[in-house]
Amino acid sequence: MKRGILSLVVTTVLTLGACSGKTPDANSALANTANMAAASPSVAAAAAENAMHYPDWAKAVAPPYPNVTLGFMVNSGLYQFQSTDDLTSVGDWYMSHVNASWKKDATTDTRSSVVNGVQIAISKISGPPGDAASAKTMITLTRL
């Protein structure tokens, strides 16, 4: 059941991302800016803008990932966002910013952890890889 819901949510996110009205050049510029200056205030502002409505309960566990292309509240206990970064980069960033025990699925390479009642799940977005501006990784924070 959870897998079916997760698949539905991922499909919805991908559909919304495809219909977002952003041009590939705008996405490329955002990705390039984030890659060149991951710690700069302007990148943090861009990440905050793209990870709109990042909830306080999620902030208490982890800061928003700096290279976000789309983020939104699915409901009051589920926040999702995606990144153009590959799963390994996103996973390494979270493991260095969230002191927790991490599980890694040997088949899918998905990473997850539960911290203070919040599950963080990092997974590869399935489908064709696309260009540099295409989302490659989904980050899901679920309040348990």
Domains in the chain, number: 1
User: How much is the pLDDT for 132?
Assistant: 81
Q: Which domain holds residue 56?
A: 2-143
Relative to beta strand 118-124, strand 111-115 is: antiparallel
Nearest residue to 122 via CA among 77, 67, 83, 78: 83
pTM > 0.85: yes or no: no
Cα distances from 18 to residues 12, 14, 21, 23, in angstroms, run 10, 6, 8, 10
Confidence at residue 49, expressed as pLDDT on a 0 to 100 scale = 58
Question: What gap in Å lies between CA 28 and CA 132, rounded to an integer?
Answer: 7
Look at residue 129 and give its three-state secondary structure: coil
pLDDT (tens digit per residue) in 52-109: 688 999 999 999 899 998 899 999 999 999 999 999 999 999 999 999 999 999 999 9
Write the CB contacts of 41 (distance below 8 Å, at least 6 apart in sequence): none
pLDDT value of residue 46: 52
| pLDDT confidence of residue 23 | 37
Q: Write a three-state SS string for 27-66.
A: HHHHHHHHHHCCCCHHHHHHHHHHCCCCCHHHHCCCCCCC
Q: What pLDDT band is residue 127 in, cutting at 50, 70 and 90?
A: confident
Taking the C-alpha atoms of residue 132 and residue 24, their distance in angstroms, rounded to an integer, is: 9
pLDDT tens, 9-67? 444 444 444 444 333 333 333 333 333 334 444 545 555 555 668 899 999 999 989 99
More confident residue, 86 or 128: 86
